[in-house]
Amino acid sequence: MSTFEQTVSGIVNDLLDDYENEKSGEELRIFNHPDKEVIIDILGSLRKIIFPGYFRNRSIKVYTLKNNLSMLIEDVIFKLTKQITIVLDDGETDNSEVLDKAREISLAFIKRLRTIREYILTDVQAAFDGDPAAYSEDEIIYSYPGLFAILVNRIAHELFLLNVPIIPRMMTEYAHNETGIDIHPGATIGKYFFIDHGTGIVIGETTVIGNNVKIYQGVTLGALSTRGGQALKSKKRHPTIEDNVTIYSGASILGGNTVIGKDVVIGGNAFITHSVPDGAKVSVKNQELRFNYDASHPVERVNIEEDTSWFYII
């Protein structure tokens, strides 16, 4: 045996010993995990179900909506049941019981598709109404990363509510990777939700967002601290955003007791750890800026406190 082969063999044996000595003491289950590619495929099928006029199976030459819808739903139920069976399998419960439970969850989820579709269509409308750069709903559905992130979250949230482990987070992390928008599947989001631009947005697990809320890039709806670790599990750590709120770019709103009241406008780069009453406008006082300029063409000075249009700048 060559030196190279001996080195590789030694590394393999060391790793096998390490696997056997794991603290968990459980049998190593290398292949008993959900398949990421299948999860992504399920999301693709659900997207076709929710937007049938936009994302349909091009391989079907004779397009019948009812037949195609039936095939898609059956395919989702089959694949989702298999993946849920994997994540529910604790190695102790009878396999038939796990399968029955997974099938029950899959069917319960499918029954919620109409509600998911109802909500996401309001999100499309919110994007069109709220963005002067949007020329059509088609453009929003096909190209807006914010809408895609919201769609995936609405799907994942329903599975989260059905107590499905791992899979909801895999879905939202896929959307995070695709869009730069990080929404935990536990976050509760009302109708007419609009994410503009989107990159860098973080929305934590226990966030509650009302209806007709609009947020811009770089916004964080987060926790004040995670130093408590697992002791904080299931506790309200993230803010509540009530109806008709606009949050501009770079703002951070933190804490489970923080409530942003109705009709509030949060200016860019604001850092908020306390509740804000209904109707307030929150701004950050401008730093002093210095300009080098020709004295014959002075720069106009603007009082930020009196300028009512400042918060529309993104």
Tokens representing residue 213 in the block = 């809320």
Backbone angle region of 25, left / alpha / beta, with phi > 0 → left and psi within -120 to 50 → alpha: left
pLDDT greater than 70 at residue 297: no
pLDDT averaged over the chain? 88
Radius of gyration of the chain (CA): 24
Considering the chain, what percentage of its residues have pLDDT values greater than 90?
68
Mean pLDDT of the region 207-213? 98
Q: How far is CA 253 from the centre of its chain?
A: 17
Reference 103, options 138, 125, 79, 122; nearest CA is 79
**Is 185:172 a contact under the CB 8 Å cutoff?**
yes
- Domains, in order of start, for the chain: 29-181 (1.10.3130.10), 187-314 (2.160.10.10)
The model's confidence at residue 52, banded by pLDDT at 50, 70 and 90, is confident
Alpha carbons 148 and 73: distance in angstroms, whole number: 20
Tokens representing residue 252 in the block = 């951070």
The model's confidence at residue 27, banded by pLDDT at 50, 70 and 90, is low
**Prediction pTM value:** 0.85
